[in-house]
Chain A
Amino acid sequence: MNLNVIAFYDRWGGVLGEATIETFQMVFISLLISVLIGLPLGVLLVLSRPDKSMSNPYVYQSLNVVINVLRSIPFIILLFFLLPFTKFIVGTSIGVKGVIVPLVFYTAPYIARLMESALLEVNKGVLEAYEAMGIKTKDIIWHVMVREAKPSIILGLTIAIIGLIGATAMAGLVGAGGLGDVAYRFGHLRYEPEVMYVTIVLLIILIQGIQSIGNRLAAKAKKD
């Protein structure tokens, strides 16, 4: 048994390690960019919504449509659909670099929605109290809305990261590697079931870990 483990590690350790790093790279970079796009979009969705102080039906409706359209396209299709665009933006359509663009297109609208619902949970009275104190709208957005929504934002991001990890499994199709790619290429195509099992276990541990960290951070941010 011990021998088996050592032998497995010798043979696959490098491949799996590299794949894990690739997965982390893809998730981290595209998450960062998606948050930078998604959070402001979420704020815009909340502010432009009907009945709000900066209500703007045109902004709200067009944003709504764009987000819904992007969210309707399955990632695997988005991946190929965006190939020319990806090449135009980052100069290549393969490798980790090539998969970031579609991952962002996939995740940013999702994050925008998650941020929207997190921000909508903030007590309107608090926003009003700050308005009544003569505080600038941009300060209210950042120091009240985003701050108070932090626990929900963290939980939303946890969900987004997990969805993102799922999407990276398809990144192998454009040669970006990652854990999903290993499971597919070695586990499925070359019929090495152990590789498949180990990959799945690694993914389970990863997802569990992320969810637990997310839950804990959210609870800590909640303060009540």
Chain B
Amino acid sequence: MIQLKEISKTFYSKKNEEVTALKGVSLEVKQGEIFGVIGYSGAGKSTLVRCVNLLEKPTSGDVVVNGASLKNMSKNELRKSRQNIGMIFQGFNLLKTATVYENIAIPLKLTGISSKEIPTRVEKYLAIVGLEDKHHVYPGQLSGGQKQRVAIARALSHEPDVLLSDEATSALDPETTHSILDLLLKINREFGITILLITHEMHVIQKICDRVAVMENGEVIEQGNVIDLYSSPKKRTTKKFVNSLFPNDLPKEILEQLKKRGPIISMTFVGTSADKPALSQLSKKFDVDANILSGNIVQLKDKPFGKLVAHIQGETEETDKALHYLKEEGVQVDEVEINES
């Protein structure tokens, strides 16, 4: 649905210094999926999403949306294509001087929707975002979450194939974030709209994304299915993001003490193996004691994903066998290195 091919973007500051925001980024977002891009601020993810509808013109590379390359389009063609790419923003970007109704109706009118159809569309999409009773209210009287709902209704009312989300939940509190994410999930499922979102929050990825790309210094350093990235992150930054969900705040001294009496392991469970009693079997089958140090199970978009840190106490021979058994049971086992975090 969206293909970014070798996108580079260089900005020139006032002193004519070059700032390279994107270095040859390639991504493909498939039809109907929710694709997340995560990175710390300054990683270039905002520039990346703005390149998709050419709000930011890439210095080199090509953008293909729905089979058409946007880069060589005339102004008019680009406008038509943009009408098919909805976008929501961190700052909502609604007209302050217009009511909720007008905020949706004005862009519809300006993109040439017939005046007969406008009220129907506004009603329909306000109902979908759950604000059918707010027609005549001004954005100033709405909460942040409600404003984002209006912005979503505005984007949907053009009936786009693609929705871009530029940190749409970053200005919202956790509870509101969840309700907005639920809404995005709903429109993805009900209307089949492909969503490309960028965020710096791991729980956004976890809750709604099918695939994810991790960005750092203008490059995509790792990408894949959310579950794969969660269970075996390869790059340091990716690990940091994953670990942010599984706080491993055991004191270093304790870990060092424990390590003398057996390995400390982290076990990753995905999907069904998340509820297998593999660990409790260990003491029965081998001459070891398993002592859970920390653990957490989170719900990914459609599978549970768990991580458990445990200390396996016993003779090296026995603990080796125990670890082997766990691996055979389909549990991903990694030794915890103490200086990791």
Contact = CB atoms under 8 A, between A and B. Distances in A.
Contacts of B98: 147
A160 B122 CA distance: 39
A143 interface: yes
Given A129-B87, A147-B98, A224-B140, A135 B93 contact: no
B97 A125 contact: no
Interface stretch (B76-84, B222-230, B232-240, B296-304): B76-84
A140 B228 CA distance: 44
Contact of A223 (B89, B96, B111, B154): B96
Interface residues of B, number: 32
B93 A125 contact: yes
B169 to A, nearest CB: 16
B107 interface: yes
Contact of B91 (A125, A131, A132, A222): A125
A163 B48 CA distance: 48
A58 B158 CA distance: 38
A144 interface: yes
Contact of A134 (B89, B111, B154): B111
Interface string A42-75: 0000000000000000000000000000000000
A155 to B, nearest CB: 14
A133 B93 contact: no
Interface in B137-165: 138-141, 151, 154-155, 158, 164
A96 B218 CA distance: 65
A144 B87 contact: no
Interface in A210-224: 221-224
B19 interface: no
B331 interface: no
A139 interface: yes
Interface in A68-121: none
A130 B107 contact: yes
Interface string B61-92: 00000000000000000111111011101010
Nearest 9 Cβ contacts at the A-B interface = A224-B140, A134-B82, A129-B93, A134-B83, A134-B79, A125-B93, A223-B138, A132-B87, A126-B93
